[in-house]
Amino acid sequence: MSKNIDWSNLGFGYIETEQRYVSNYKDGAWDDGTMSTDATVTISECACVLQYAQTCFEGLKAYTTEDGRVVCFRPDLNAQRMVDTCKRLEMPVFPVERFVDAVVQTVKANIDYVPPYGSGATLYIRPYMFGSNAVIGVSPAEEYQFRIFVTPVGPYFKGGAKPITIRVSDFDRAAPRGSGHIKAGLNYAMSLHAIVDAHNQGYAENMYLDPATRTKVEETGGANFIFITKDNKLVTPKSDSILPSITRRSLMVVAKEYLGMEVEHREVLLSEVKDFAECGLCGTAAVISPVGKIVDHGNEICFPSGMEEMGPVTKKLYDTLTGIQMGRIEAPEGWIKEIK
Ligand SMILES: *Cc1c(COP(=O)(O)O)cnc(C)c1O
C-alpha cells in the first residue's frame, strides 16, 4: 500500500523511510550487506570521515512509469562513478553489480514510498560510503560502511522550471586538480560558502571557471552546463575537473539520436557564452534548470530564451529525457533498470 503522503506537495527534503541498506568493510572485505530499520549511524569520535572527510556519495532516482512499473535510470553509471571516486579517495571499491543489487533491494524494501506516476515526485536514492574506524595520523581508514537510504522528493521546481539568474564566481570550485571526477562531500563542503554568498547577493547559483586561466566554463556546484547555439547545436564544456554528470551524458545521446542535433563536447570560453541561444544546468535532481541570465561582474549576459520559460530546444531535450525515464518514450538499450 502506497504511503499516505501528499505527493504533489512534497518538497526537496529528507523524509525518513523504514529501511536502508548497510554493508560493512573490515579486514579487507565487504560483508554480505543487509537491510536495517536503524536510521542512525554510530561511529568513533575519531572516525576518518569526521576528521579527514573520507566520504563519498552518489545520487539517483526511482520512478513509477506510465504503465505502473518502478524503475531507476542507469544505476550502473552511478556504480561505476563511485568506483572511480573510491579509487581517488583511497577507499575500498564497492563492486558495480553489488551496488546495483543494493539499489534494487533498497527500493523494493521501501516500495510504498515510490511516488505514483504523474505526481511529479520521485524517490531519491542516496548511496554513500565513509571511513568509520578511528584514525588520528593522516591515512585512509581500515574500516568502512556503505549505505543506501531513500527519500521521496517533490518536483525540484514547484510550478514549473522558471529560468534562473546565476553569477560568474570569484571562488574557485571546490574540486582540486585531478579530483574532478569524484562525487564527494568535501567538494560540497568547500562550495557551501560560495553558494551562500551567491544567494545573499540574489543569484541562484555560481558559474565556476577553470582556476588556472579563469577563461573557461567549468560547471556549477552540483550540475553541468549545457548550451544551445543559434544554429541548434548542443555544446557542453569538456574539462578534467568537471564531474561527469550522467544526466549530461544522457542528454548528449538524446540530442544526437532522438533529436538529430549536432553535439559538441569541448572547451567553452566564457567570452563565447554571450553568443549562445539557450543555457541550462543539468543533473539528477532537476534534470535541466534553465538559465535566463548570467552576471559576470556587472556585465549581464541575457539569453534570448528570456526569464519566463525554458528555451524551446532545452524544453525538447527535457521532455525527451523525462519521457524516456517515465516510460513514455522507448529508452536506449540498458538505460532503464526495472525494479518492480
Ligand atoms: C552530481 C553532480 C552533477 C550532476 O550529475 P548527475 O549524474 O547528472 O546527477 C554535476 N556536478 C557535480 C559537481 C555533481 O556533484
At 293-339, the pLDDT tens digits run: 999 999 999 999 999 999 999 999 999 999 999 999 999 999 999 99
Ligand 1 atom closest to residue 250's alpha carbon, by position in its atom list: 8
pLDDT at 45: 98
Contacts of 77 (CB under 8 A, 6+ apart): 246, 249
Protein residue with least CA distance to atom 10, ligand 1: 223
Sequence letter at residue 291: V
Question: What percent of the chain clears pLDDT 90, i.e. is strictly above it?
Answer: 86
- CA 168 to chain CA mean position, Å: 21
CA of 247 to the centre of ligand 1 (A): 8
* More reliable by pLDDT, 286 or 17: 17
Q: Which residues are catalytic?
A: 183
Assigned C-alpha cell, 154: 517533490
CA distances from residue 225 to 50, 104, 308 in whole angstroms, order as listed: 32, 30, 19
φ/ψ of 35, rounded to 5, equals -85, 145
Ligand 1 atom closest to residue 173's alpha carbon, by position in its atom list: 13
Protein residue with least CA distance to atom 1, ligand 1: 222
pLDDT at 70: 98
Q: Decide if pLDDT at 50 tops 80.
A: yes
Sequence letter at residue 226: I
* More reliable by pLDDT, 219 or 157: 219
Protein residue with least CA distance to atom 14, ligand 1: 222
| Max Cα distance, the chain (Å) | 58
Q: Which helix (H) or strand (E) holds 314?
A: helix 312-325
Assigned C-alpha cell, 91: 577507499
At 64-104, the pLDDT tens digits run: 999 999 999 999 999 999 999 999 999 999 999 999 999 99
CA distances from residue 75 to 62, 72, 103, 194, 309 in whole angstroms, order as listed: 10, 7, 8, 30, 31
d(CA 156, CA 36): 28
Assigned C-alpha cell, 129: 560510503
Mean pLDDT of the chain: 94
Assigned C-alpha cell, 329: 518514450
Q: Mutate which of 77, 243, 253, 321 to test ligand 1's pocket (most atoms within 8 Å of Cβ)?
A: 243
pLDDT at 250: 98
Q: Which helix (H) or strand (E) holds 295?
A: strand 287-296
What residues flank ligand 1, with Cβ below 6 Å? 59, 183, 219, 222-224, 243, 245-248, 283-284
Q: Decide if pLDDT at 160 tops 90.
A: no
Q: Decide if pLDDT at 257 tops 80.
A: yes
Q: Decide if pLDDT at 4 tops 80.
A: yes
* Strands 70-73, 336-338: pairing kind: antiparallel
Q: What is the DSSP letter of 279?
A: E
Q: Decide if pLDDT at 186 tops 90.
A: no
d(CA 242, CA 263): 18
Protein residue with least CA distance to atom 15, ligand 1: 222
* Strands 263-266, 234-237: pairing kind: parallel
Ligand 1 atom closest to residue 221's alpha carbon, by position in its atom list: 13
Q: Mutate which of 183, 220, 239 to test ligand 1's pocket (most atoms within 8 Å of Cβ)?
A: 183
Decide if 177 contacts 58 (C-beta within 8 A).
Answer: no
